[in-house]
Amino acid sequence: MLKNDILKQSLQNDFYDSNGRHHALAYQSLLQWVSAQLSDQGKSMSQYGLPQPEISTTELQRHKLLHDVETERQEYETLCRQTPNTLEQQLIFNAVMEALQVNEGTIMFIDGKGGTGNANSTHITNIKTIISPGKTTLARKIMASTRMSNLIALGSASTALAATLYDDFETTHSLFKFPVVEDEDKEPNVPTECDLHRNPQREELLREEPADLFIFDEFPSLDREVFEAHTERWKSSATKQ
């Protein structure tokens, strides 16, 4: 049954919506269901040459399952084939990859109009200011390349609309669990902080096994307090490593 691609896809579709429309998670849910049905009959997956389901109970485990090396390699190759980097984009890409290889804590700001094919970068200590078009595709390539190296890459955007440009982005408030408080409800002299202590799984993903790469779409559009709070969190994580 699972060796027939058409039947497998049909069965997998039953679990598609309940798993956030992620194919990898839907497939694992299908395997878990089949395993449970066989177990009720006193049988096992191995008896039929079927793979065992991978149990993913935490956000970190789910992230690794969704972004396995082979899937990300295919994503990267497809993006490169469809939209090759310009010379300037390749320089930016190389700079990010080199920083990851040497574990160099670097902040890069990428700015510019999309579709013009021009890019420039300036290196200032550990902060790189970059002007580049085609930022979304370049960011997707960088994330795929990072993940296919078995590293953790996370992304967020300042607005829900901007987050929809990517497959797995959240708003920055959601990713880091920043409280959404109206100006009139803010307490004076109380700094904005990540509310991660109430979400240990997100804490594990962000802190216990710190992500290797963060990409923020429209980061300067965030409130200054959120910008500063994230910078403090980034510094504390770098200090722990």
- Report pLDDT for 45: 83
Instruction: Give the span between the Cα atoms of 74 and 64, in whole angstroms.
Output: 16
Instruction: Give the residues of the chain that fall short of pLDDT 70.
Output: 1-4, 6-8, 16-22, 55-57, 111-133, 181-186, 188-192, 208-210, 233-241
Which residues, 6+ apart, have CB-to-CB distance to 165 below 8 Å? 136, 157, 217
Radius of gyration of the chain (CA): 21
Specify whether the CB–CB gap between 88 and 58 falls below 8 A.
Answer: no
Which residues, 6+ apart, have CB-to-CB distance to 58 below 8 Å? 201, 204, 205
Domains, the chain, ordered by start: 5-55 (no CATH), 66-240 (3.40.50)
Which residues, 6+ apart, have CB-to-CB distance to 146 below 8 Å? 100, 152, 153, 212, 213
Instruction: Give the span between the Cα atoms of 138 and 165, in whole angstroms.
Output: 12
Do β-strands 127-131 and 120-124 pair in parallel, antiparallel, or remain unpaired? antiparallel
**Residue 84: in which H helix or E strand, if any?**
none
Residue 35 to residues 11, 54, 157: CA-CA distances in angstroms? Answer: 14, 11, 38
> 16 has which bridge partners?
none
- Report pLDDT for 76: 94
Do β-strands 107-111 and 127-131 pair in parallel, antiparallel, or remain unpaired? parallel
Instruction: Give the span between the Cα atoms of 182 and 159, in whole angstroms.
Output: 16
Specify whether the CB–CB gap between 83 and 134 falls below 8 A.
Answer: yes
Task: Give tens-digit pLDDT for 175-196.
Answer: 888 777 666 666 766 666 777 7
Specify whether the CB–CB gap between 156 and 175 falls below 8 A.
Answer: yes
